[in-house]
Structures are given as structure tokens and as C-alpha cells.
Amino acid sequence: MQQNEQIIRTEYSEVMQKSYIDYAMSVIIARALPDVRDGLKPVQRRTLYDMHELGIRHDRPYRKCARIVGDTMGKYHPHGDSSIYEALVVMAQEFKKGLPLVDGHGNFGSIEGDGAAAMRYTEARLEKITQEAYLADLDKDVVDFVPNFDETEKEPSVLPVKVPNLLINGAEGIAVGMATSIPPHNFSEVIEGVKAYMKNPDITARELMKYIQGPDFPTGGIVVNKDDLLKIYESGTGKIKIRGKVEIEQVKGGKERLIISEIPYTMIGANIGKFLMDIGNLVETKKTGDIVDISNQSSKEGIRIVLDLKKGADVENLCNMLYKKTRLEDTFGVNMLAVADGRPETMGIVPVIRHHVNFQYELATRKYKTLLAKELDKKEIQEGLIQACDVIDLIIEILRGAKNIKDAKDCLMNGNTENIKFRYKGSALDAEQLHFTERQATAILEMRLYKLIGLEIEALLKEHEMTLSNISKYEEILGSRSAMAKVIVRELTRFQKEYGKPRKTQIENAREAVYEEKKLEEMPVVLLMDRFGYAKTIDVSAYERNKEAADGENKYVIPCMNTDKLCIFTDKGQLHTVKILELPYGKFRDKGTPLDNVSKYDSSEESIIYINCMDRLRGKKLLFVNSQGMIKVVSGDEFDVSKRITAATKLNEGETVLAVELLAETEEETVVMQTEKSMFLRFLAADVPQKKKGAIGVRGMKIDPKDSLKAAFLLGREEKTIEEKDKQIMLHRLRIACRDGKGVKK
């Protein structure tokens, strides 16, 4: 071991704990959570700054998103192009952001969940508001710049955002052990709230809500729990209930239709498709008969989902059902978590605005200090040039008599005339009185002769007056907090007038949606299932009229009640249950629906052995036979389960269920087991013991190791004949033997 190396002994758990905490904090601060000052996550901040650096302004041509993403990743955000492009896309989507920050050109996705086109096809540039309120003054030392990941570039630690972006655009992010979810708000209302806070820093959340009514989602909708908002804005956490906007439209014939013109913010994306499917399921399962047709007529102009209703439909009850049973009413969970002073903090609305206002004062202070310093520099130079114009002949004489710039500059600054040759004796005495500053001397030496024209001198004097005015103004702003506040408010008012928009989301206290579910009318139906697995139910009278065709065309014909459940036993030992109501009810010639679509049964992996209704199994017994000859009787009550799928019996590896039959429990009832080598064994069903569904059972027949079980039959009083190797075998004529025998050869 080298002398400089040192082994540090430490507890493994401590190293793991420290490493994980470091990782978690890195994700929280540097990836997932927005900064309370500019309301941006690092990836958003870096993307906007990179676009600013590339000069992709609102009044310049669009640039390929691939260029923006690549440049951002290479310079500032080395975390993969997908996260950068996704952030860029979201900042351009009007249906997600209350104030889009990027002007997208091309396919940037849709409200219905369509993704954006690949970055090589789309283009983007900054919005005007982004330049004016998010990226302005970066050249005035208003924020700190820090090295990027490889210390080859500098990037701003925070953008000098002049509007409360955290509230205007909201935020969503999942970190390690914490998540943020902040709803968007109305631009004008938030600015009014900021102004109110600046007038009264002791303002309460209740008073602030006179200006900020509540969230304003880009998708509109209605917030229905207005009274809960105060508690949410005080604590920073809570749940906002949002409903879509439903309008009633009269149609010819006295019918009505429901028009959904606005959706809850949480329904953006694939949830619109799910909403339509949920409505379809309500119709199919007979939860409502009021909806005749569903159509999604949404376009670029906005959302328009149309529900055509039958005549005399109970519209109010239907709306309440949609609120209860679909996502037309949904909950937005609020957790106003952001990074404040370098650490994550959950804040109410007042602290969020307080942090923003303090940030504005900091930005203004740094901006006007920078501007003041520049004006003071200009003042110094201007005063030197004005003074030089008064003694310009002397200065020209000094320049002509100097051997080099150094001697001329020394004379102008310090009155040193040793190395200067003067044409007139009195000029040396005048030159000794000169005391220009270094900046003034440099400006004089760089001054061009045309500056001596009268009009140019007048312009210089006017410029000097303007400089003195600016200095006075900047000193006043920096010297008085109230003067600085006026400047901030003036700029906010300008943004408000130019970019403010009317509120989209209504805020109200709506009644709880009370849906009275119509009691289902119980009635007998007949379940039909063909050999392809398509199932449906029809009216009993329809079955009676088509009995011969129904029995001939279908594999299963089962009379049952519409409130019953269908039990499907498969060769894999599984029991699948389906509510009869989930199967389509209609005409005899309707096709039906595959069982795969309404249950967890998969026809490609398992085969149906037996089907019956739950009511017909209660109080009865089922006979189970598996491929290894094991047999048992199970009570039908054990299969009265609520699960969609459960184990119907226990099987060892490689075993399958060969037969499931409903016992009549008569003395004459017998079981016949048949092997591949035509061995037959018949015994009384009463000899089979009753077991639990989780048991394997007992041996029904001794099978030769070179043979295997082919089939099992349950015989009652009726006769049964099978064909085996061109022979007719009458099973009811087989001699009744004992269970667990070898059987006879046929």
C-alpha cells in the first residue's frame, strides 16, 4: 500500500444513508421541483436560456427543436434529450400552460393525448412575454451565473422572471419522497394579488382571495368547492374538485342532447378516451338507457363531446351520474411545494407571493445599481469631453507636441509638461492646470474631430443632461423602497394590460352530485354462447320462438336471471366470473361479444370445461376430474365469490382439469372414466368423497403408466353411447364396479 493511501473504516449503513440522501436532494433541487422565485424547474430554465442565447426571438424565424434540445443538452442539461424535448413541448401547449412560454410550429400534440412529432420535425421560438418578462435584463447583472456541469459555460442560477410564474403556470413534479402539484392561475388576477401584497405586506390569504379567486385552468371547467379554497391557499395542500361544463341543447322532436364543451384539467390526454369508454360502459351495462349516441366532435376550436338523449330523458339525474361514475367530475390534488432558499418547502399563497416580491426587489436593486454605475461612468466621460471642448486648442497643441500617447495622457491627467513641446510659452502653464481622470483622458484621446462641430457639442450637452436625469432617477429608486415599488408595479401593470386574459374556470359552491341509481328490474333471460366464444343474452320469449335454431347453433344455452353471475371453469383450474349484465342483451341474431372482452379469461391460453350460472350452483355439488385420474366432489357454494378470477381447484404441475359436472345427487348417478387404451371404469358417484376446492381429491381409477385418462362422464337415468374405434359403446350398460379399480377393456 502506498504511504499516501488511508483506509477509512465506517458503517456500511451510514455510507448508504448518506449517499441516498445526497442523491435524493440532488433530484429534489436539481431536477424535479421548481424554484419559488422564477417558478421554473432546471430543465425549463436551461431550455429558455439556451433559446435566448441562440437568439431565437419571437420576431425571428423558428428554429428546429432538435437544434435547441441538442444545444441545451450539450451545454447545460446532460440528462437525456427526451426530458428536454418534453419540457419544451409542454411549455408550448396552450391546454397545459396558462401562459405558454414557447411558440411552437408544427405538431406539438393535442389535448386528447396525441404526442408531439419528433423533434427533427418541429420548430420553436420564444414567446414575446418570455423575452420581456422572463429573460430581460440578463445583461444587467441581476442574477448570479454559475458554471455548467463541465465548467465550460456559465448559466443563470435563476431567471429574472418579473411575473409570479409559479402561480400563473403552476407546476407538476415527482421527486424522491415528495411531489409538487400547483394549479395554474389567471395572469391578471395574480398580478393584482402581487400589487395588493406590495401595498400591504401583512395581507392574509382571505384578503388576497379577493383578487385571486382560485385556480384558472386552461381547459376551463368549474371548481365546485369554493369554500375549501381558503384552507388550501393557507396551508398549500388540499383537494380541488373540478367539473366539466355541460350544456343542454334542444333538438327536433322534443329531444335533448348534452354538450360537454369544457373538461376537467385532469382529463387532458388519454383520459378523454377513457371518459368516452366509461360512458359507453354505462350504456352497455344498462346503468342508463337515456343515452342514444355518443360522438366526439372536438377540433382545434375546442372540446365538443355530444351525447344524444332519448325523448323524456332525466337530464339532471344523467348529469349527476356522469359526475359520479366518470371523470367528468375529478379531483386535483394541490401540494404547493417549491424550492425556497435552497430547500424544499410547502407554502401557502401568501408566502409564495412574498418570495416573489422579495425577488423582484432584489432584481430591481441589482438592475438599478448596474444602470447607475454605467450612468456614472458616462457622466465622468461626458464631463471630461465637455471640459475638453473648452480647451480644445490647448489639447491639440499638447497632442502635436507629444512624442507618444503615454506622454500626452500623462500631461492630460497630471499636468506633466516635461516631454511636451509647446508652440506658445503660455500654453505650458495652462497645461499644468489640467487634471482629467484616466477615463476622461482616454475618451479625449479617442475623440474624433467631427465631435467639435457645434451641433455635436449641443448633442453632447443634451446627453449629459439626460445622464444627470437618469442618475437622479436611479438614485431615487435605490434610495427609497416605495419608489422602487412604483417601478415594479408600473411594469407589472404594463404586462397585465398587454397579456392579461379573461378567466376561463368558474369558481362556485355547487351541490354534491346525488345520483339515484335506478333499481334494476330483475327478469329471466337465456344466455347463448357459440363455439367461437361469442356470448349474449336474449329474452325468454325470443328463445322460445327460435328454440330449435338456438339449441343447434350454440354450444351453451343457459336460462338465468339478468342479475346473476356466469361461472366459467377452465382446464387450467381457474374460475372466471362475469356479471350477466356485462354481456350484451339484444336480438336473437345479434353476434354477441367474446368472453375475453368482458372477463379475465384468455381463450388463447385456456379452454372452457364447464359453464353455468351462480344461482344454479348454490346448494348443489360439482364433480371434478383431472387428467391424472384424481376425482372429488366440491360444494357449489364455494364458488360464490366476488373476484373476477380465482382458483377453482388444486392442480399439480402438468395436470389439467378434464371434466366438471353438476351432480343431480340421485342413487342411480354414476361416473364413467375412459383411458386412451379403451379401459373403462364405472362406479357410483356417491362413492366420490366431498372435498374443499383447494384439495386435489382421491384416485378415481388405476391407470397403467403407459396409458392416460382420455375422458370422464357423469351418467344419470338417461342412456349414453359413445363411439370408440368404430365401435358403439353403451356406457349405461357397463358393469358398476368400485372406485379406484383398473376397469375393463372395450
Active-site positions read 121
Q: In whole angstroms, what is the distance from residue 428 CA to residue 407 CA? A: 14
Helix (H) or strand (E) holding 528: strand 524-529
Q: In whole angstroms, what is the distance from residue 84 CA to residue 263 CA? A: 28
Which residues have CB under 8 Å from 726's CB, separation 6+? none
DSSP 252: G
Q: In whole angstroms, what is the distance from residue 27 CA to residue 47 CA? A: 18
Q: In whole angstroms, what is the distance from residue 287 CA to residue 565 CA? A: 17
Q: Return the ∠ at Cα 314 (arms to 523 and 278), rounded to 5°.
A: 70
Does residue 533 sit in helix, strand or coil? Answer: coil
Contact between 267 and 322 (Cβ < 8 Å): no
Q: What are phi and psi of 668, to 5 degrees?
A: -80, -10
CA distances to 390, 394, 422 from 408, in Å: 18, 12, 12
CB atoms near residue 249 (< 10 Å): 12
Q: Which of 240, 265, 267, 246 is nearest to 327 (CA)?
A: 267
Q: 406: burial class by Cβ within 10 Å (0-12, 13-18, 19+)?
A: exposed
Q: In whole angstroms, what is the distance from residue 641 CA to residue 577 CA? A: 8
Q: Which of 283, 707, 189 is nearest to 499 (CA)?
A: 189
Q: In whole angstroms, what is the distance from residue 108 CA to residue 116 CA? A: 4
Contact between 169 and 98 (Cβ < 8 Å): yes
Q: 186: burial class by Cβ within 10 Å (0-12, 13-18, 19+)?
A: buried
Q: In whole angstroms, what is the distance from residue 205 CA to residue 198 CA? A: 14
Helix (H) or strand (E) holding 132: helix 128-133
DSSP 30: I
CA distances to 6, 8, 15, 288 from 12, in Å: 17, 12, 5, 62
Contact between 35 and 183 (Cβ < 8 Å): no
Q: Which of 707, 280, 220, 723 is nearest to 504 (CA)?
A: 220
Which residues have CB under 8 Å from 199's CB, separation 6+? none
Question: Beta partners for 180?
Answer: 173
HSE, side-chain direction, 13 A CA sphere, residue 499? 22
Q: In whole angstroms, what is the distance from residue 495 CA to residue 710 CA? A: 84
Q: In whole angstroms, what is the distance from residue 40 CA to residue 338 CA? A: 10
Query: Could you tell me whether strands 670-675 and 679-684 are parallel, antiparallel, or unpaired per DSSP bridges?
Result: antiparallel
CB atoms near residue 22 (< 10 Å): 10
DSSP 123: E
Give first-to-last CA distance, the chain, whole Å.
Answer: 86
How far is C-alpha 18 from the chain's CA centre?
A: 31
CB atoms near residue 559 (< 10 Å): 12
Dihedral angle computed from the Cα positions of residues 682, 683, 689 and 690, in that order, rounded to the nearest 10 degrees? 70
Contact between 213 and 65 (Cβ < 8 Å): no
Contact between 435 and 457 (Cβ < 8 Å): no
Q: What are phi and psi of 60, to 5 degrees?
A: -120, 165
